Structure 1
Amino acid sequence: MKSPNEELGYWLGRSGISRKELARRVQSKAQEWGQPNVAPNATRVRCWLEGETPRAPISDILAGVFSDHFGWRITTYDIGLGDGSSAEAGLTYDPSFAATVEVVADLGRADVDRRKFLAAAPFAAVAGVGPSRDWLLNTLDQEPEPGPRVRLEDVTAVKNMFATFQRMDVLQGGGSGRLVLAEYMNQHVYPLLRRSHDETVRRALCEAAAEQTYLLGWMAYDNGEHSVAQRYLIQSLRLAEESQNAPLGAHVLAGMADQATLLGNPAEGRRLAQAGRQGLSRAMSPACLADLWCLEARALALLDDKVAAARAVVQSERAYERVDLAEEADWAAFIDPAYLHGEHANTMRDMGQPKAAEEHARRSIEHAKKQNRARRGAMSQAALAVSHLQRRDLDRAHAAGLRTLRLSGQVKSSRAVEAVQDLQRRMQSFGSDPLVADFNERARELVAAA
Structure 2
Amino acid sequence: MGNHPRVRNEALEQALRDADLTYEQAAAAVRVVAAEAGELLRTNKAALGHWVQGLRPKPQTATYIAEALSRRLGRCLRPSDLGLCDPGQDPAHDRLGLILGADPVDTLKRIGEADIHRRRFLTGAAYSVAAAALPLGIDQAVEQHHRAEAGHQRAGHAEIAAVRDMVDMFTRIDERHGGQHGRSAVVQYLRSDVADLCRATFDTDDHRRDALGAAACVAYLCGWKAFDAGEHGLAQRYYLQSYSLTKEAGDDLHGAWILRILAHNGMDVRRPERTVDLAEAALARVHGQVDPSTEALFAVTRARALAHAGRRADAVAQLREAQDLVLRGDEQALPFWAALWGSPRATVASHTAKAFRELGDHSNAERHYGVSARSRPGSGHEHQRITALTLAAQGREQAAQGHLEQACSTWGESLHLFGGVRSARAVSEVRGIRRSLKVFERRGVQAAADLDERARSWQLAYA
Shift of 1:281: 4.4
* 1:386 corresponds to: 396
Map 1:195-234; keep pairs closer than 5 Å: 195-197=200-202, 198-234=204-240
Shift of 1:355: 2.9
Decide which of 318, 321, 338 is 1:332's aligned counterpart.
338
Q: Which moved more, 1:148-157 or 1:251-260?
A: 148-157
Decide which of 151, 167, 176 is 1:171's aligned counterpart.
176
Q: In structure 2, what is the Cα distance between the partners aligned to 1:144 and 1:328?
A: 30
Q: In structure 1, what is the Cα distance between the partners aligned to 2:197 and 2:167?
A: 16
> Structure 2 vs 1, CA of residues 132 and 411 (structure 1 numbering), >3 Å: closer, same or farther?
farther
Q: Is the 8 A contact 2:297 2:344 kept in 1?
A: no
Q: Could you say what the CA RMSD is over the residues aligned between the two structures, in angstroms? A: 3.1
Q: Which moved more, 1:433-442 or 1:111-120?
A: 433-442
Decide which of 374, 379, 396 is 1:370's aligned counterpart.
379
Decide which of 426, 430, 455 is 1:443's aligned counterpart.
455
> Structure 2 vs 1, CA of residues 397 and 124 (structure 1 numbering), >3 Å: closer, same or farther?
same
* 1:151 corresponds to: 155
Matched, 1:89 2:96: yes
Matched, 1:241 2:250: no
Q: Is the 8 A contact 1:86 1:107 kept in 2?
A: no
* 1:193 corresponds to: 198
* 1:412 corresponds to: 422
Q: In structure 1, what is the Cα distance between the partners aligned to 2:242 and 2:140?
A: 14
Shift of 1:147: 6.9
Q: Is the 8 A contact 1:147 1:196 kept in 2?
A: no
Q: In structure 1, what is the Cα distance between the partners aligned to 2:252 and 2:231?
A: 27
Shift of 1:375: 1.5
CA deviations 1:389-442 (Å, max 9, x no partner) are 122111111111222222223312222333333444556665723445554443
Shift of 1:207: 0.8
Q: Is the 8 A contact 1:357 1:384 kept in 2?
A: yes
| 1:126 counterpart SS class | helix
Q: Is the 8 A contact 1:247 1:285 kept in 2?
A: no
Aligned residues: 364
TM, length-normalised to structure 2: 0.71
Q: Mind listing any 5+ residue stretches in structure 2 that lack a counterpart?
A: 1-58, 60-90
What amino acid maps onto 1:250 in structure 2?
A
| 2:173 counterpart SS class | helix
What amino acid maps onto 1:411 in structure 2?
V
* 2:186 corresponds to: 181
> Structure 2 vs 1, CA of residues 341 and 202 (structure 1 numbering), >3 Å: closer, same or farther?
same
| 2:128 counterpart SS class | coil
Shift of 1:249: 1.0
Q: In structure 1, what is the Cα distance between the partners aligned to 2:172 and 2:139?
A: 28
Shift of 1:111: 1.4
| 1:395 counterpart SS class | helix
Q: Is the 8 A contact 2:155 2:201 kept in 1?
A: no
Shift of 1:233: 0.3
* 1:276 corresponds to: 282
Q: In structure 2, what is the Cα distance between the partners aligned to 1:300 and 1:424?
A: 31
Q: In structure 1, what is the Cα distance between the partners aligned to 2:343 and 2:93?
A: 32
Matched, 1:319 2:325: yes
Q: Is the 8 A contact 1:90 1:107 kept in 2?
A: yes
* Structure with bigger gyration radius: 1
> Structure 2 vs 1, CA of residues 403 and 370 (structure 1 numbering), >3 Å: closer, same or farther?
closer
Shift of 1:357: 2.3
Q: In structure 2, what is the Cα distance between the partners aligned to 1:144 and 1:290?
A: 33
Shift of 1:367: 2.3
* 2:314 corresponds to: 308
> Structure 2 vs 1, CA of residues 107 and 222 (structure 1 numbering), >3 Å: closer, same or farther?
same
What amino acid maps onto 2:308 in structure 1?
L
* 1:433 corresponds to: 443
Q: In structure 1, what is the Cα distance between the partners aligned to 2:254 and 2:432?
A: 32
Q: In structure 1, what is the Cα distance between the partners aligned to 2:288 and 2:276?
A: 21
Shift of 1:282: 7.0
TM, length-normalised to structure 1: 0.72
> Structure 2 vs 1, CA of residues 135 and 243 (structure 1 numbering), >3 Å: closer, same or farther?
farther
Map 1:30-69; keep pairs closer than 5 Å: none
CA deviations 1:183-209 (Å, max 9, x no partner) are 112221112223333523221111111
